[in-house]
Chains A and B, each alone.
Chain A
């Protein structure tokens, strides 16, 4: 039974205000750029303004003599150093491993995208570094830019990497063995709906641009990197082991307050390795702060898929098979998790909420002369959801059936459910979320609202869709089989202090999600103490256990589970101590409201008495247990979690200009159990904001020369408050996850996954209601595009 959050004042299910916001909103946060070390130098990266070129020479002699210059580095300085590693290896449909190009810290031999770093100038001040960079004389022979993915795969196309056989990273088939059966089902289908679409390239644009500050301690030989990262331990491992050859015990990575990540701060970037390397080489701290302009051409981009999807139905409108053909842009190099996004985070989601028995997904990943592409909020799952929910909408139109009824007819209703694309959904109730959606979106009132819009000369459209996501990433053994070069467990150390307060050192990382508020709610509930007695520590490899960080909506489901496991160990030990003092047996001790008592008696001990005894063990079972109260747990989930939901969007379209405005947006989500409903609302709101951004506004556009045309906010349209409606958000449908101790599923990406198809479905509905024969418009649905579609 879901708890009614209004009545809950503390613990799980309550909505205390976010404690971290006090420092964020009053300017007391400690972001990487706020950290300045004595005597630090500054690095300016000279970046390529050419998409593709052969480096003939780099003459730094004049620049090196300029005031304040400490040293200028080029690719040659990194020949003895490792390249930036890729964290995931895909095996293609022929059993071959993907093509994996070298990814040097600074360009070697060629520049491969506008933004590729050619030289790094370290100077006493940033201005001096920049002045000197302008004095570097480059001789670069321009080569044809490889931009269009399909052209890049043509015979004889210019190669981004000369030492690879082609621009194809991999050609992945999933599930390859299903292919003949899928073909057969299509041959027998009563109806086939085909849709070609583009999932537009995006730039995450976190409010805080990336920063890296490398430091070296000559006395100890230790290196420290302060960085804007979602996963400091992952950076320590990748950079230490693969790039710079520094063992973990000599390398500390600190990601302090981080101002938004959205995926683009997961990856290990060359700038981090550079600052760490240079600090040691120069025996001086080296700092890099990205400008916003630099962020556009150096932060990993997201999405950028071109897909043809086909849905086969029988004569009763049951889905019988699905097949897709996708080209996924990798950009010029493989960013940390890039290969996994169009494959395991995408192909495995193609069943969606539906019992389609046969599915085949083909993905060709392609190298181009563009910024590397990697995970962005949702990562692969928005791409899957968008195709599927668009093609179902199109099928409903072609068949003349109600799009909601067609979905309901094909819903998976029995759980656990093993999909034909390798995953097993543990729980869900898709009819319940659809029912809830119909209620909160007031779908019954749509016709009346449409008439009102019409009276004002505007055309109203309604779009509905479902989504499923696989998050809480992930079981390590499974992802290992799928090519991950990392484990995906999470860790927590719970330290209880003598007077009863707790510090939780988590391997998860909070960069806006509110862990410092929600994690204590869980512990407070378990022990029966006030949340204010619990403090969360994260982001520093020196004082947190090895953890994998935050992405894939995994923090509570995986990191929170580790914390629960560690707290369970604490409670078990505390009960032993209490039993000793109360002269009872462990099994008879109960912990409730912060009191240990002997079942059935009035004898009890307060939480604080027991914690004190752990550190002042005068009356203590020293022969059985050690003093102290500190436990660590590592938690590796048994499965992904599968949040799901149904979304509805209503738009108004101005038929004269093509301008679309979002009038209503409703989201009915099933996230399993909820710890802090307010934070969940916030996560959904933010996700929908980004989804609407993708659907209506955002696009990273390259011209054929490989210049990024949308390289600043003058041309890259971020959603603003007045682009967004008030949302109706509900998460009262709760089918708890069956395999983690909290029964939670994760809510961080849902909004971004579920919202783009709702918007596009709504606009197509509006166009159709005007009598336009438009079945699809590619995102972003800018006024110009919608107008062109109307008048095409």
Chain B
């Protein structure tokens, strides 16, 4: 780790002000950032902790959306969304281990946009709106390739508004070592449409599987997916799975998610 300053503001406005300093960086739960600092792969001059900002904590239901404060921990979502959005609660409860879930935050996860992370799939499938200190961004416009989002320097995710579907399910097939998603599929059925978001698989990061969405929108059953597949080209390959394997898993998991949700 290199040396840095730490600030712990109590309001979004103070956080934004603190982040305007040169080389300042937001600190959510630190579950990604702290290991990166320990490896000396980042050298911020100042960390601005978001964990003391009351207005970024907790969740509420409003206009059919579950609105989760950007600094809300995975453990909180796992425990408190069980009634309002069970598939999301289950997803949060399946991230990492208890220590990771107690610290890691939804805002940090979305801002980080790890191609194998879980929340990006939920946000995309739920047609979420990502609220920052400056604007509201549709999830469809938010993710911008591996570890990249449209967030500007110093911009913070203050709230995530996820539309609560009629039925939903997240299927995560774990990478054996990290237990991030080797492939994860989030299926959400709304009154007028079905959204299918896939994480862990594509070289471009989280994406919507539009053919599956179209098929499922007219017939929400695993049978509707028969014959549909994603081409291995464009999938990621590493020591844990080839392109072909990821493409195959994506199909299997989508069917399982539909079967579990239906």
Which A residues form the contact surface with B (CB < 8 A)? 127, 130, 134, 293, 656-659, 696-697, 699, 701, 709-710, 713-718, 780, 782-784, 787-788
Contact = CB atoms under 8 A, between A and B. Distances in A.
A788 B244 CA distance: 9
Given A784-B240, A784-B241, A784-B242, A657 B176 contact: no
Given A656-B252, A657-B249, A783 B239 contact: no
Nearest to B246: A784
A557 to B, nearest CB: 36
Contact of A787 (B176, B180, B245): B245
Given A709-B238, A782-B176, A784-B242, 11 more contacts: A127-B1, A130-B40, A657-B173, A696-B176, A710-B177, A715-B177, A715-B238, A783-B176, A783-B241, A784-B245, A787-B248
Given A657-B252, A710-B239, A788 B245 contact: yes
Interface of B is mostly: loop
Interface in B1-57: 1, 39-40
Return the 10 tightest CB-CB contacts between A and B, nearest first.
A717-B177, A717-B176, A784-B241, A714-B178, A784-B245, A656-B252, A715-B177, A701-B239, A709-B239, A697-B176
A787 B252 CA distance: 12
A361 to B, nearest CB: 31
B232 to A, nearest CB: 12
Contacts of B248: 787
A565 B39 CA distance: 52
B242 A782 contact: no
Contacts of A713: 177-178
Nearest to B97: A720
Contacts of A783: 173, 176, 182, 241, 245
Nearest to A719: B176
Contacts of B240: 715, 782, 784
B252 A716 contact: no
A436 to B, nearest CB: 33
Contacts of B241: 783-784
B176 A293 contact: no
Name which of A127, A696, A699, A715 has the most chain B CB atoms within 10 A of its CB.
A715
Contacts of B178: 713-715
Interface of B: 1, 39-40, 173, 176-178, 180, 182, 238-242, 245, 248-249, 252
A716 B177 contact: yes
Contacts of A715: 177-178, 238-240
Nearest to A656: B252
B238 to A, nearest CB: 8
A214 to B, nearest CB: 25
A709 B240 CA distance: 11
Contacts of A784: 240-242, 245
A645 B48 CA distance: 59
Contacts of A127: 1
A661 to B, nearest CB: 12
Nearest to B253: A657
Contacts of B242: 784, 788
B173 A714 contact: no
A781 to B, nearest CB: 10
Nearest to A291: B38
A130 to B, nearest CB: 8
Contacts of A787: 245, 248
A134 B252 CA distance: 47
Contacts of A701: 239
A714 B177 contact: yes
Contacts of A656: 252
A293 B173 contact: no
Name which of B39, B240, B252 has the most chain A CB atoms within 10 A of its CB.
B240
A293 B39 CA distance: 9
A338 B99 CA distance: 39
A695 to B, nearest CB: 12
B249 to A, nearest CB: 6
A697 B241 CA distance: 13
A699 B180 CA distance: 18
Contacts of A718: 177
Contacts of A293: 39
Contacts of B245: 658, 783-784, 787-788
A701 B168 CA distance: 38
A262 B237 CA distance: 32
Name which of B180, B182, B245 has the most chain A CB atoms within 10 A of its CB.
B245
A719 to B, nearest CB: 10
5 contacts: A697-B177, A718-B177, A782-B176, A783-B245, A784-B241
Nearest to B242: A784
A294 to B, nearest CB: 11
